[in-house]
């Protein structure tokens, strides 16, 4: 098959599709991975065909950080970003899928990709790294607090599905008018249709972290995370290797793609908290671009592979993005989550519920006193032992193999359905 994968966002939204692409290619399929242009080198490094989409996700990250935890503002900012790049995104998406026999798509592409698949009369599959479009009473929509009542939790999922459909429809209409595009009938991939099999949803997280819900439909599957095997060939820069060998295991701080106007203040809190805790630290500045002089107890880096670095650290402090959460749990070390926006509070609460880390600290509540106390709490044996157990279970899973099997099974079903 010729498969196109459509994803948009930060590195955590692209990284899982690298091992998945290779898994599909190993089965003889041709894969094109379509993502923001800044990830072209990363994708092509693995010999995967890359197709650039429109827009820069750093702009969306900045807007989300300014929205904080306000659901209405998040929708407004996401919609504003989508409208600005909409016409070019439509063109690039169609170009990436021109020869596709199957489209795999993520949250941002759900409506557009499914509509395109229907127009081309080919199957599509939705893949998500956080639970969306999967109504359940077990927990609320990822942007909402746990309401403790199953019916209310489920209602938040129903409302979010409606909101996703409404914003997609309104956004496309706005883009169409601005760009002079023809009218187009849109389709929601999770509506019932007697003429088409239900669009499968593959949940790319570990069942040890978030198991399948009993009230889900049969087309929803928890596959496990999509990881590469540990990279024994990675050669760290001399500064990193020297730092690791010069003392005790450090605390890793990784806020990844977060672009926050208070980045300098957050950095000062981190430095002071590590000092008070008597901890050595490695700070991965990522998109925040805070870069202070390093010392014998503190090292600043733009980035380093989580799968190599985190197992060499004693704990990790991060924002709770789905990608960093998966890496932190896989490493088997305690996780301290400082959510900035979107689904991050959900993963922070989940890590605490699993016993793999203390209660999350919302970024606006971050202080030297609180973070120092939380670092000491995370260093306790109870969190360390639980994190090790969860990490071992995650490392025993093979999410790529499970996903590839489900993808091939569904496309076979699709062919039989169309006959």
Residues 389-411: what's their mean pLDDT? 97
Q: Sorting pLDDT into bands at 50, 70 and 90, what band is 197?
A: confident
The 3-state secondary structure of 116-148 reads HHHHHCCCEEEEECCCCCCCCCCCCCCCCCCCC
Do residue 179 and residue 161 come from a single domain?
yes
Residue indicated by tokens 């409404």: 166
Contact 267, 69 (CB under 8 A): no
49 and 151: one domain? Answer: yes
Residue 297 phi/psi, 5-degree rounding, is -115, 0
Q: Is the pLDDT of residue 81 over 70?
A: no
230 located within any domain: no
User: Residue 413 — very low, low, confident or very high, per pLDDT cuts 50/70/90?
Assistant: confident
232 domain residue, yes or no: no
The DSSP bridge partners found for residue 5 are: 33, 104
pLDDT attached to residue 381: 93
pLDDT at 247 over 60: yes
- Regarding whether 203 and 100 lie in a shared domain, the answer is yes
- Mean pLDDT along residues 177-203: 88
Residues 401 and 384 in one domain: no
Same domain, 377 and 257: yes
Whether residue 64 is predicted with pLDDT greater than 80 in this model: the reply is no
Q: Write down the pLDDT at residue 5.
A: 98
Q: How many CB atoms lie within 10 A of CB 22?
A: 17
Taking 60 as the threshold, does the pLDDT of residue 287 lie above it?
A: no
Whether residues 196 and 344 fall in one domain: no
Residue 413 lies in a domain: yes
Q: Residue 288: is its pLDDT beyond 60?
A: no
- Do residues 83 and 201 both lie within one domain? yes
DSSP state for residue 337 in the 8-state scheme: E
- Do the Cβ atoms of 415 and 211 come closer than 8 Å? no
pTM: 0.92
Q: Which residue has the higher pLDDT, 71 or 413?
A: 413
Q: What is the pLDDT of residue 419?
A: 46
Domain region containing 410:
2-225+397-418
State yes or no: pLDDT of 259 exceeds 60.
Answer: no
pLDDT of residue 220 exceeding 80, the answer is yes
pLDDT of residue 325: 96
pLDDT in tens, 126-180: 999 999 999 999 999 988 888 889 999 999 999 988 888 888 888 888 888 887 8
pLDDT at 289 over 70: no
Most confident option among 10-14, 185-189, 260-264: 185-189
**Residue 247 has which token pair?**
């003392």
pLDDT tens for 83-102 read 777 788 889 999 999 999 99
Q: With contact defined as beta carbons under 8 Å apart, do 5 and 20 qualify?
A: yes
Neighbour-count burial for 369-386, b at 16+ CB within 10 Å, e otherwise? eebbbbbeebbeeebbeb
- Does residue 25 lie within any of the structural domains? yes
Cα 378-381-384 angle, rounded to 5 deg: 65
d(CA 205, CA 218): 17
Q: How far apart are CA 344 and CA 134, in angstroms?
A: 18
Confidence at residue 76, expressed as pLDDT on a 0 to 100 scale: 65
At 338-381, the pLDDT tens digits run 998 888 999 999 999 999 999 999 999 999 999 999 999 999 99
Q: CA dist 72 to 77, 78, 175, 205, Å? A: 9, 10, 21, 27
Between 69 and 273, the higher pLDDT residue: 273
Q: Are 343 and 287 within one domain?
A: yes
Examine the domain organization and report whether 199 and 91 are in the same domain.
yes
Mean pLDDT for the chain overall: 89
157 vs 220: CA distance, rounded Å? 15
Contact 221, 213 (CB under 8 A): no
249 in the same domain as 171: no
Q: Of 323, 203, 156, whose CA–CA distance to 255 is shortest? A: 323
The pLDDT value given to residue 368? 97
Q: Which two tokens mark 325?
A: 């959460």
b/e code 261-270 from CB counts within 10 Å (16+ = b): eebeebbebb
**pLDDT value, residue 145:** 83
Are 160 and 258 within one domain?
no
> What is the CATH number for 221?
3.40.50.2000
Task: Tell me the sheet residues that pair with 33.
Answer: 5, 50
Q: Is 352 exposed, middle or buried (0-12, 13-18, 19+ CB in 10 A)?
A: middle
Which DSSP state fits 98? T
- Contact (Cβ atoms closer than 8 angstroms) between residue 267 and residue 292: yes
Are the CB atoms for 309 and 252 separated by under 8 Å?
yes
Residue 93 to residue 76: CA distance in whole angstroms? 23
Residue 149 domain-assigned (yes or no): yes
Instruction: Between 287 and 274, name the one with better pLDDT.
Output: 274
Q: Name the domain count of the chain.
A: 2
Q: Are 344 and 288 contained in the same domain? A: yes
d(CA 36, CA 301): 23
pLDDT number for residue 402: 98
Alpha-carbon gap, residue 328 to 324, rounded angstroms: 6
* Domain contains 176: yes
Kindly state whether residue 283 falls inside one of the protein's structural domains. yes
pLDDT at 124 over 70: yes
Asked whether residue 35 is domain-assigned, the answer is yes
Helix 381-395 / helix 322-331 crossing angle, nearest 10 deg:
100
């Amino acid at each position: 098959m010729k498969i196109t994968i459509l994803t948009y966002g930060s590195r955590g939204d692209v990284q899982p599709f690298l091992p998945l692409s290779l898994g599909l290619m190993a089965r003889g399929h041709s894969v094109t991975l379509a993502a923001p242009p800044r990830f072209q080198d990363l994708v092509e490094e693995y010999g995967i065909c890359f197709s650039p989409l429109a827009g820069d996700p750093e702009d969306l990250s900045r807007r989300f950080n300014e929205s904080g935890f306000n659901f209405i503002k998040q929708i407004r900012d996401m919609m504003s970003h989508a409208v600005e790049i909409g016409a070019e995104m439509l063109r690039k998406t169609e170009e990436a899928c021109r020869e596709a026999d199957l489209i795999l798509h993520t949250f941002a592409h759900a409506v557009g990709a499914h509509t395109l698949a229907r127009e081309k009369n080919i199957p599509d599959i939705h893949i998500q790294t956080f639970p969306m479009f999967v109504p359940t009473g077990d927990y609320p929509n990822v942007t909402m607090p746990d309401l403790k009542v199953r019916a209310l939790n489920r209602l938040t999922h129903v409302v979010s599905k409606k909101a996703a459909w409404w914003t997609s429809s309104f956004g496309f209409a706005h883009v169409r008018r601005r760009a002079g595009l023809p009218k187009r009938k849109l389709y929601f991939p999770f509506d019932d249709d007697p003429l088409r099999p239900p669009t499968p949803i593959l949940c790319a997280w570990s069942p040890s972290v978030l198991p399948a819900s009993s009230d889900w439909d049969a087309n929803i599957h928890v596959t496990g995370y999509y990881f590469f095997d540990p990279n024994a060939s990675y050669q760290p820069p001399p500064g990193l290797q020297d730092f690791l060998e010069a003392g005790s295991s450090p605390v890793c701080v990784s806020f990844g793609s977060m672009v926050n106007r208070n980045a300098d203040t957050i950095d000062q809190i981190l430095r002071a908290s590590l000092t008070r805790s008597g901890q050595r630290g490695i700070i991965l500045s990522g998109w925040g671009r805070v870069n202070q002089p390093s010392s014998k107890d503190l090292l600043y880096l733009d980035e380093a592979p989580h799968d190599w670095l985190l197992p060499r650290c004693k704990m990790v402090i991060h924002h709770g993005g789905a990608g960093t959460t998966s890496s932190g749990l896989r490493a088997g070390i305690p996780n301290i989550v400082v959510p900035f926006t979107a689904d991050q509070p959900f993963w922070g609460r989940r890590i605490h519920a699993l016993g793999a880390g203390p209660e999350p600290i919302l970024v606006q509540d971050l202080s030297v006193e609180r973070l120092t106390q939380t670092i000491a709490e995370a260093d306790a044996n109870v969190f360390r032992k639980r994190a090790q157990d969860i990490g071992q279970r995650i490392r025993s899973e093979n999410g790529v193999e499970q996903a590839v099997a489900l993808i091939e099974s569904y496309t076979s079903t699709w062919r039989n359905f169309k006959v």
